[in-house]
């Protein structure tokens, strides 16, 4: 067949595909492939066709054939890597792109795809290196600049991101509708990160008014309301989005999360079940359900999950499915089987997420050895407004905040990052209190007392003690092995140390030894709250905490499960229950799995006694 005729037939197949006649399009492709399987144009078009139909296995085969037949052409490498990235096979995608860059190190779109890959794997520093290289080759490429701004947003370099976005907004926005939308979505995201919520809200509402079917504007507006702890408004905007675009599934995912965080567990269950009814391979929703539902009225869905062949799933689905199965087996008391799936889930996660253990230790050591000049103590009185809840994740901190927030004078800020941000923004720490207070006032209504439950603030105890001299620090302590197991079971996406038992254990020992030192240095401001003691004897322990805070006693502190506040942590479902002791000592059921952790914990004498 002549090339011109072949190209006409390929175009005909593309038109059929665009009109929804994928069967006819496939028939055209199959007929052409019988006699033209050496044509780059045909194989390339067919690979794209398979990709668009999400037949990724066949698409990968086609792009591999193209790479073998036409090894000097770059686009097949890019497209193959793109599919591998979608499948969360980041290392495989990286290998493909590294082969391509040896062929053409100055290919702008190749460098751009390197940046996209590292962005997707949250390696923002590498992503920035490659997008800068791409921009250097094509200084006026707005697509490259948009990605750079998004990288900056995720690195919390908000001013740099805004500089790029505002420049694009002023110079080229009117020429391209899609570019206008993306610029404004990113502008809103940057404003949300900067906690300039009113400006972000205006941008998103303007987009919704101009483009009523713009799903991303509704979705990001719901995220804005979540950041403002206005879950009811978030739920309302998601419902409006669903009315506009009822098939856009991210609306339902956010809605299920908002229902769970606001304590509406029945609606959270119903929404996740709906998501599964639309896509039985949505293992993220199976995972969400595994923490709040027993599937007793949905046996078919349960059997589908339990009989899923994990080895056939992409890495992301495999991780969520394994965590979900482990959770359900744990509830049934099948702990050995639960441990097996728990290890599968975490081992798979470690393949794609580099542990941040060394970074956390290094950060802690910097502040442990920091020499701070005597504070002027000019904030001595006002700093009593703040209670810092610190410790390891899954140590009973959410329960504690639930108890404290029953005080009507308390605003529970949750896991805000205000302290670390304020420290980064000041040169000599003298302004840290002012910066912190401005962030609090900007996001929360005026209150007499604020609780800050960013647990890793334990790293900054020296800063708190010197520059918030009248603040309270409550150190949450839980049996080390119960704590380690709970972290290992939690699927903490933003805490990459949490997928390795040795890393969790090593960090636990480091945290414990750090706090032992800090209690000697700053003991009068630090209170040790032991989770197990509170669960076993709340009538003694809770009054002790309230008394230490110098608050008036009220019996309501004994009923934290009745607190109707929004909870945004992994404990958002459990916190609605009365005190329960079923998790105390549960590590013994996983003793074989926890052997590496036990050996590390035993290196500290005090901790060794706690598990003997």
Question: Is the whole-model pTM more than 0.85?
Answer: no
**pLDDT at residue 121 is higher than 50:** yes
* Comparison of pLDDT for 402 and 171, the residue scoring more: 402
Residue 445: what pLDDT? 84
Per the domain annotation, does 471 fall within a domain? yes
Tens digits of residue pLDDT in 243-301: 999 999 999 999 999 999 888 999 999 999 999 999 999 999 999 999 999 999 999 99
CATH classification of the domain holding 502: 3.40.50.300
**pLDDT at residue 216 is higher than 70:** yes
**DSSP state at residue 77:** H
Helix, strand or coil, per DSSP, at residue 252: helix
Per the domain annotation, does 449 fall within a domain? yes
**pLDDT at residue 525 is higher than 60:** yes
**pLDDT at residue 575 is higher than 80:** no
Per the domain annotation, does 287 fall within a domain? no
Per the domain annotation, does 397 fall within a domain? yes
Give yes or no for a contact between 539 and 558, defined as CB atoms under 8 angstroms apart. Answer: yes
Task: Give the tokens for residue 378.
Answer: 């000019």
Tens digits of residue pLDDT in 191-207: 998 888 999 999 999 99
Residue 494: what pLDDT? 84
pLDDT above 70 covers a percentage of the chain that reads: 95
Domain with 404, as residue range(s), is: 358-475+490-545+599-611
Lookup result for tokens 């013994």: 588
CA distance 358 to 590: 26
Residue 546: what pLDDT? 95
**DSSP secondary structure string, 317-353?**
HHHHHHHHHHHHHHHTT-HHHHHHHHHHHHHHHHTTS
Tens digits of residue pLDDT in 330-379: 999 999 999 999 999 999 999 878 899 999 999 999 999 988 776 555 55
**Local confidence band at 426 (pLDDT 50, 70, 90 cut-offs):** confident
Per the domain annotation, does 391 fall within a domain? yes
Q: Which of 509, 484, 506, 491 is nearest to 347 (CA)?
A: 491
Residue 510: what pLDDT? 97
Residue 237: what pLDDT? 96
Mean pLDDT, to the nearest integer, of 60-86? 96
Tens digits of residue pLDDT in 375-387: 555 555 678 899 9
Per the domain annotation, does 383 fall within a domain? yes
**Local confidence band at 576 (pLDDT 50, 70, 90 cut-offs):** very low
Give yes or no for a contact between 66 and 47, defined as CB atoms under 8 angstroms apart. Answer: yes
Task: Give the tokens for residue 354.
Answer: 């580099």
Per the domain annotation, does 363 fall within a domain? yes
Considering the chain, what is the average pLDDT of its residues? 91
Per the domain annotation, does 453 fall within a domain? yes
**pLDDT at residue 577 is higher than 80:** no
Q: How many CA atoms lie within 13 A of 279 on its CB side?
A: 16
How many domains is the chain partitioned into structurally?
A: 1
């Amino acid at each position: 067949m002549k090339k011109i005729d072949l190209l006409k037939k390929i175009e005909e197949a593309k038109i059929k595909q665009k009109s929804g006649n994928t069967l006819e399009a496939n028939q055209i492709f199959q007929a052409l492939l019988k006699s033209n399987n050496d044509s780059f144009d045909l194989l390339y078009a067919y690979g794209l066709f398979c990709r668009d139909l999400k037949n990724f296995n066949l698409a990968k085969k086609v792009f591999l054939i193209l790479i073998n037949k036409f090894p000097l052409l770059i686009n097949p490498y890019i497209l193959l890597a793109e599919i591998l990235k979608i499948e969360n096979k980041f290392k495989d995608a990286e290998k493909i792109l590294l082969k391509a860059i040896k062929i053409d190190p100055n290919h702008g779109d190749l460098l751009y795809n390197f940046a996209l890959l590292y962005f997707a794997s949250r390696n923002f520093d590498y992503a920035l290196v490659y997008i800068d290289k791409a921009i250097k080759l094509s200084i006026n490429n707005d697509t490259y600049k948009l990605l750079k701004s998004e990288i900056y947003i995720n690195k919390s370099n908000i001013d740099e991101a805004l500089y790029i976005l505002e420049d694009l907004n002023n110079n080229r926005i009117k020429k391209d509708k899609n570019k206008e939308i993306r610029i404004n979505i990113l502008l809103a995201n940057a404003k949300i990160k900067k906690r300039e919520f009113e400006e972000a809200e205006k941008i998103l509402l303007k987009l919704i008014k101009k483009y009523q079917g713009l799903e991303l504007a509704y979705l990001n507006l719901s995220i804005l309301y979540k950041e403002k702890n206005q879950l009811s408004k978030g739920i309302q905007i998601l419902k409006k989005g669903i009315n506009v675009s009822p098939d856009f599934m991210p609306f339902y995912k956010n809605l299920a999360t908002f229902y769970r965080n606001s304590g509406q567990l029945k609606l959270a269950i119903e929404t996740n079940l709906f998501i599964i009814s639309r896509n039985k391979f949505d293992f993220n929703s199976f995972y969400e359900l595994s923490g709040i539902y027993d599937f007793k009225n949905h046996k078919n869905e349960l059997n589908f999950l339990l009989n899923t062949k994990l080895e056939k799933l992409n890495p992301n689905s495999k991780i969520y499915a394994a965590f979900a199965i482990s959770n359900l087996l744990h509830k049934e008391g099948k702990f050995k089987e639960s441990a097996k799936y728990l290890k599968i889930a975490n081992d798979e996660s470690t393949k794609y997420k580099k542990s941040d253990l060394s970074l956390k230790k290094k950060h802690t050591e910097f502040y442990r050895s920091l020499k701070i000049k005597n504070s002027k103590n000019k904030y001595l009185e006002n700093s009593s407004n703040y209670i810092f809840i610190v410790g390891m994740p899954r140590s009973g901190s959410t329960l504690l905040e639930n108890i404290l927030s029953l005080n009507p004078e308390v605003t529970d800020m949750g896991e805000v990052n205000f302290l670390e941000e304020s420290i980064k923004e000041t040169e000599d720490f003298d302004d840290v209190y002012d910066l912190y207070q401005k962030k609090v006032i900007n996001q929360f209504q005026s209150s007499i007392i604020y609780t800050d439950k960013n647990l890793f603030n334990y790293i900054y105890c020296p800063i708190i003690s010197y520059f918030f001299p009248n603040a309270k620090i409550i150190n949450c302590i839980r049996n080390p092995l119960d704590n380690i197991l709970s972290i290992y079971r939690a699927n903490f996406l933003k805490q990459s140390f949490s997928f390795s038992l040795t890393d969790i254990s090593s960090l636990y020992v480091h945290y414990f030894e750090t706090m032992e030192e800090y209690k000697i240095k700053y003991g009068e401001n630090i209170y040790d709250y032991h989770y197990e003691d509170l669960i076993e004897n709340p009538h003694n322990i809770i009054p002790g905490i309230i008394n230490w805070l110098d608050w008036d006693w009220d019996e309501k502190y004994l009923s934290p499960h009745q607190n109707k506040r929004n909870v945004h942590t992994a404990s958002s479902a459990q916190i609605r229950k009365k005190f329960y002791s079923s998790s105390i000592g549960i590590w013994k059921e996983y003793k074989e799995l926890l052997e590496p952790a036990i050996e590390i914990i035993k290196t500290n004498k005090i901790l060794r006694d706690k598990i003997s």
